Amino acid sequence: MPQLASYTASVPPSGIRRIHEIALQLDDVIGLAVGEPDVEVAPHVLEAGSAAWLADDTAYTANAGILELRQAVQQKLATRNGIEVDLAQIWITNGATQALTLAMSLMLAPGDEVLIPDPGYTTFAMNARILHAEPVPYPLLPEAGFLPDLELLERVVTDRTRLLIINSPSNPLGSVFPTDVLQALLDFATRHDLWVLSDEVYEAFTYGISHTSIAALDTENRVFSAFSTSKTYALTGGRVGYLVTPPGFAAILGTYQEATISCINTPAQRAAVAAITGDQEHVERAATHYRQNLTAACALLDERGIRYLEPTGAFYLWIDVSHASDGDVAAWAEGFLLKERVSVAPGSAFGRSGEGWIRVCVAASRENLLEGLSRLPTP
């Protein structure tokens, strides 16, 4: 029988998905492992998508996406992100997941290295391996507030490094990188002549600190940025994201899009136009809901003496369970699920620096969230 390509064995599985798949087989589970918004989609967004289906607006679109959506994104980038781009720099993708894959496939050749945050979202390492590149973690450590340490970055960069990935607001940490940190990372990329890929999926949800898009600081055209409607507008199944590139990539991206997805489904793009251009009240209410859940959750953890990272963005809590996990938080999370019927994402799923920690999604009912956290073991 023919063999699979040798590199497939090096692609790491998702430790989050493993917990979730076990949880799906159990009854009465409080699900806090998966980053799924628990708010409803705004009616005007649903109506736009429904209208497109009913009007049989289902033909192929341009590889880059429908003009109305790209124009909406262009205006949004200028007004909310401080990024001025031409339409040729905006590519509608199958969620931010495909935006990340698309960008990485442009920059990485077999054997190249990519610097990924650790802890960091699992897709970064998975994509690198699929592209035959080498993911090189740069640690985000508790003693530094889980912010990048430039000295540590300097130790891991080599002459094979081609790309630096940044994720702010962070999944899984719930942290937001201040502007001066982003500028320092951009300066680092300049010193080593690296591309930068910025994952900004959680841009709409920050608390007590403003979100800065690193592309707004870029004067050298080295930053690619991935955005999504999934978390902002609770459209995770709509699969509409977008990649913002430096100038000059339109021709090659058209070829890549045609060869991989051709285009995003048209009704979902119509819904995304309504989401981005319409009333943002639903987004504001979602942000308030997540912030209130985070506040209540932190108060409970404080009361129980459990350490966590103070969240400034996204809708996650990064919680220290090293007092109970005995050096193997993945095994502990599985046992916790089976015994307590609460699913949490093991921190080791996000990299070596996540050992002893868990990620909890607070996009849940307040009652379920607090009940789930009340079952965590105290130090």
Q: pLDDT-derived band of residue 173, with 50, 70 and 90 as boundaries?
A: very high
Does pLDDT of 233 surpass 90? yes
Structural domain total, the chain:
2
Token pair of 304 as six digits: 């129980």
- Percent of the chain past pLDDT 90, that is, above it, reads 93
Question: Using CB atoms within 10 A of its CB, is residue 81 exposed (0-12), middle (13-18) or buried (19+)?
Answer: buried
Domain match, 293 and 181 both: no
Distances (CA, A) of 308 to 63, 132, 355, 361: 43, 35, 14, 13
Does pLDDT of 180 surpass 90? yes
In the listed set 260, 277, 294, which residue is the last one of a domain according to the structure? 277
Domain match, 136 and 213 both: yes
pLDDT of residue 14: 81
CB 6 within 8 A of CB 332: no
Q: Residue 63's domain is classified under what CATH number?
A: 3.40.640.10
Q: Which of 179, 243, 187, 170 is nearest to 213 (CA)?
A: 179
Domain match, 183 and 325 both: no
CB 324 within 8 A of CB 332: yes
In the listed set 277, 300, 323, which residue is the last one of a domain according to the structure? 277
Task: Report d(CA 202, CA 176) in Å as an integer.
Answer: 10
Domain match, 212 and 322 both: no
- The DSSP output letter for 111 is T
In the listed set 221, 253, 277, which residue is the last one of a domain according to the structure? 277
Domain membership flag for residue 79: yes
Task: Report d(CA 132, CA 116) in Å as an integer.
Answer: 15
Domain membership flag for residue 19: yes
pTM for the full predicted model: 0.96
Token pair of 89 as six digits: 């720099």
Domain membership flag for residue 181: yes
Q: Write the pLDDT tens digit of every residue in 40-73.
A: 999 999 999 999 999 999 999 999 999 999 999 9
What is the amino acid identity at position 77?
A: L
Long-range contacts of 288-297 (CB under 8 A, 24+ apart): 289/39, 290/205, 290/315, 290/362, 290/363, 291/207, 292/366, 293/362, 293/363, 293/364, 293/366, 293/369, 294/174, 294/207, 294/362, 296/366, 296/369, 296/370, 297/360, 297/362, 297/369, 297/370, 297/373
Q: Write the pLDDT tens digit of every residue in 88-107.
A: 999 999 999 999 999 999 99
Domain match, 192 and 204 both: yes
Helices (H), 65-111: 67-76, 95-107
Rounded to the nearest integer, the mean pLDDT of the chain is: 96
Question: Using CB atoms within 10 A of its CB, is residue 86 exposed (0-12), middle (13-18) or buried (19+)?
Answer: exposed
pLDDT of residue 13: 78
* Stretch 134-149: mean pLDDT: 95
pLDDT of residue 16: 84
Domain match, 336 and 243 both: no
Domain match, 241 and 162 both: yes
Domain match, 154 and 271 both: yes
Q: Residue 350's domain is classified under what CATH number?
A: 3.90.1150.10
Domain membership flag for residue 379: no
pLDDT of residue 248: 97
User: Where in the sequence is the domain holding 297, given as residue range(s)?
Assistant: 6-41+281-374
Domain membership flag for residue 1: no
Task: Report d(CA 250, CA 267) in Å as an integer.
Answer: 24
Q: Write the pLDDT tens digit of every residue in 257-311.
A: 999 999 999 999 999 999 999 999 999 999 999 999 999 999 999 999 999 999 9
What is the amino acid identity at position 347?
A: G
pLDDT of residue 117: 98
Q: pLDDT-derived band of residue 79, with 50, 70 and 90 as boundaries?
A: very high
Domain match, 258 and 368 both: no
pLDDT of residue 186: 98
Domain membership flag for residue 303: yes
Question: Using CB atoms within 10 A of its CB, is residue 103 exposed (0-12), middle (13-18) or buried (19+)?
Answer: buried
pLDDT of residue 373: 98
pLDDT of residue 313: 97
Question: Using CB atoms within 10 A of its CB, is residue 107 exposed (0-12), middle (13-18) or buried (19+)?
Answer: middle
Q: pLDDT-derived band of residue 111, with 50, 70 and 90 as boundaries?
A: very high
Domain match, 31 and 63 both: no
3-state helix, strand, coil in the chain (%, to 5): 45, 15, 40
Domain match, 94 and 225 both: yes
For 343, the 3-state DSSP assignment is: strand
- The DSSP output letter for 215 is G
For 326, the 3-state DSSP assignment is: coil
Task: Sort strands 241-244 and 342-343 into parallel, antiparallel or unpaired.
Answer: unpaired
pLDDT of residue 9: 86
- Percent of the chain past pLDDT 70, that is, above it, reads 100
pLDDT of residue 121: 95
Domain match, 35 and 70 both: no
Torsion sign, CA atoms 125, 126, 128, 132? positive
Distances (CA, A) of 122 to 233, 253, 286, 340, 361: 22, 24, 25, 25, 16
pLDDT of residue 5: 86
